[in-house]
Every structure is written in C-alpha cells, then in structure tokens.
Chains A and B, each alone.
Chain A
Amino acid sequence: MSWIFGGSKTPEQKEKEDAVALKEKLGFDPSQVADVGTILNSPGVLSSASLHPLSGLEKGIEYMDLEDEQLTTVEGAQGLIPSRNWTDDLCYGTGAVYLLGLGVGGAYGFQEGVRNLPPNATPKLQLNTILNHITKRGPFLGNSAGVLALTYNLIDSSLDAIRGKHDDVNSVGAGALAGALFKSSAGLKPMFYSTAMMAGGAAAWCGIKAVLQQQQKQQLQQHEQPLQ
C-alpha cells in the first residue's frame, strides 16, 4: 500500500536495501563500476560457472521475480492463503463470503421451495417452484454478504496501511465500521445491531484463523521432523 500512503521505511534504509538487492541480482555492485574494463577484469565474471545459461539456479527465481509477485510484507497480515497485496485480500475475501452467502441462501430457498410445493404438481412445475425459491433467496443473501465483505475488506486494508501492521483489533474495528456503514440509513437501533454482529463475526473469524494457522504450523513441523 505504500503507493498511496508512502512506505514506513526511511529513504536511507530503502536505498541500502535496493543496492543489496541489485547487487544480488546483477552479480556485481554497480556503484563500484567505472568502465567496462573493471567489469571484465573483476574476478569470476568470465568464469564458465556464471556464464552458463543454467547457472545460478540455486538462487531461486530471478527473471520472474517481479514486483507484483512478492507476498505482502505488512506485519501480521500473512493469512491462510498467500496474498500479494490488498487486492488479493479483497478478491478472495469477497468471493468466499459471497459464495458462502449464495450457498446458504440457496439452501434455505431450497428447503422453503420443497415445503411450498403445490399439491399434485407436475415434475416441471415442482422443479420450477424449487428453482424460483432458490433464486429468490440465494442472490439476496449472497449480495448482502458480498457487499458487507467488500466494505469490510476495504476498511481492513485501509486500517492496515494506516497503522502499518495487521492484528485482531484491526479486523474487529473494520467489522464494526462496515456493519455501521451497512445499516447507517436504517436508524440507530439496526445500526447498533449490525455493528455488534459484524464485530462479533470479525472476532469469530480471527479466532478460526488463529486455530487454522496453528494447525498449519503443526503440520509443517511434522513434515519437517523426519528430514532431520
């Protein structure tokens, strides 16, 4: 997010890091190079080990190390699936919650349709009744859930960028703000309820996430142990 609010690193620090990164990438330090002769005479430059097309494989991916592909560096923002930046969080979060809402609403509509089947209806009419109920309930719940998730993720990413780190306080605060905004035109009482529900939902998600991350960590450790 540094492109909106500016990075939290000092310029000197960043310069130093850039220089180190450039040196690793090029194999020499560009600030010490005066002319072509220095490059050619410096030891190891013309060795076959570094000129071979397949050299440097142990350094990992170099050509494809694009800026866009780096994972997020915000403290504490490493989620369940790898995320590059706030747009990834936004897309995955909104998509997951939207699909969840669509599924739950569709299931509710399905059982409602099954219960409201007209007596001695033809199979075609039965199918249509159930589908009508599903498409009435599913998209409504999905759209509302999706908008809530979208607002939540936008606010959450903004808070992360402003505070420079991510923690549970951010999530719960973003949930509360999103809930308040969602019902802001319906009056104080609905606003309060939706705020409380969204804050509770965000807190519950933080808890689930912590448990899942703990399990991931344990599994990783179990996989690593036999190697040693």
Chain B
Amino acid sequence: MSADHTRDPCPIVVLSDFGGAFAMGVIGGCVWHGIKGFRNSPYGERVTGALSVVKTRAPVVGGNFGVWGGLFSAFDCSVKAVRKREDAWNAVIAGFFTGGALAIRGGWRHTRNSAITCACLLGCFEGVGVLMQKVMAQPQQNIYGDAPMSA
C-alpha cells in the first residue's frame, strides 16, 4: 500500500488530529445540542435555551471527540513505529488501545470490553474501506485478449 500523501508525517500529525477532531466535535455538538436544547426548552425561551445548552455542552462534546481522535492518532503512530508497516491492522490495534485507555478508570472488565468493542468498530470501518476500494477500483480488463492458438 502506498503512503498517503494527503496526511502529514507521523509525530506531528497527532497535533493536527487532535485539533481536527476537536473542531469536528465542537461544530457537531453545536448543531446537535442546539436542536436538542431548542426542542427541550419551553415556548418563548427556545433560542436562549438552545444557546445556553450549546454553551455548556458543545465544548464537552468537542473535548471528548478531540481526546478520542488524538489518542487514536498517537496510538496509530506508535503502532506504525513498532510494526514498521502500514495496513488496516494498524487502525484496529490502535482502536484497541484507545478504547482501553479511555476506559481504564472503570476497572479491568470495563477496560477489556471497551478495548474489544473499539477494535471491532475500527475493524468494521477498515473492512468497509477495503470493500469500497475494491468496488470503486476499475475492473481489470484483459486488453490483449486470449492468447491465440495457445495449444
């Protein structure tokens, strides 16, 4: 698999992923909690209610996204450095460690279950990615035709 040139080299890409995931989370959280706060507020206070919910909740969503994305990226880089290869398993292993690290305060069982769930989720993503790549790729055509009189 060739290197991905749209992404930055490894140690510094962690910073970018932190910021990107955080920004995604904040913007998504604004939309999500804006709508939720608007619907859950009484008539006459809908806009103020939406605003106050966005102010308190959107940064938290952003933070959660950011920590997840940043940790994942850091683990991804570490796994790449240890394995010295780039394939779909990197993401699965990094997902395993990320899920485990985020749940480590909940006890051994919680850590284990969370790590396995996260690895499975990332495995699904990678699997779908590989499938999409195969579907999108141009079908191989035999441009030379069959070899004439091969007998």
A interface with B by C-beta (< 8 Å)? 64, 66, 68-69, 81, 87-88, 90-96, 98-99, 131, 139, 142-144, 146-147, 149-150, 185
Contacts and interface: CB of A to CB of B under 8 A. Distances in A.
Main secondary structure of the interface of B (DSSP, over half): helix
Nearest to A146: B22
Contact of B26 (A64, A66, A92, A147): A147
Given A143-B59, A185-B55, A95 B18 contact: yes
A88 B22 contact: no
B18 A69 contact: no
Nearest to B64: A139
22 contacts: A64-B5, A66-B5, A69-B5, A88-B16, A90-B20, A90-B23, A91-B19, A91-B20, A93-B19, A94-B19, A95-B14, A95-B15, A95-B20, A96-B19, A98-B22, A131-B105, A139-B63, A142-B63, A146-B26, A146-B59, A146-B66, A147-B58
Contacts, number: 76
Interface in B14-34: 14-20, 22-23, 26
Contacts of A185: 51, 55
Contacts of B58: 147
Nearest to B51: A185
Nearest to B52: A185
Contacts of B133: none
Contacts of A99: 15, 18, 70
Given A68-B6, A90-B23, A147-B26, A95 B70 contact: yes
A66 B7 CA distance: 13
Interface of B: 5-6, 12, 14-20, 22-23, 26, 51, 55, 58-60, 62-63, 66-67, 70, 105
Contacts of A98: 18-19, 22, 63, 66
B59 A91 contact: no
A27 B3 CA distance: 27
Contacts of B67: 139
A95 B60 contact: no
Contacts of B16: 88, 91-92, 95
Contacts of B26: 146-147, 150
Contacts of A144: 59
A91 B17 contact: yes
A95 B66 CA distance: 8
Nearest to A88: B16
Given A90-B23, A94-B23, A95-B22, A147 B15 contact: no
Nearest to B61: A143
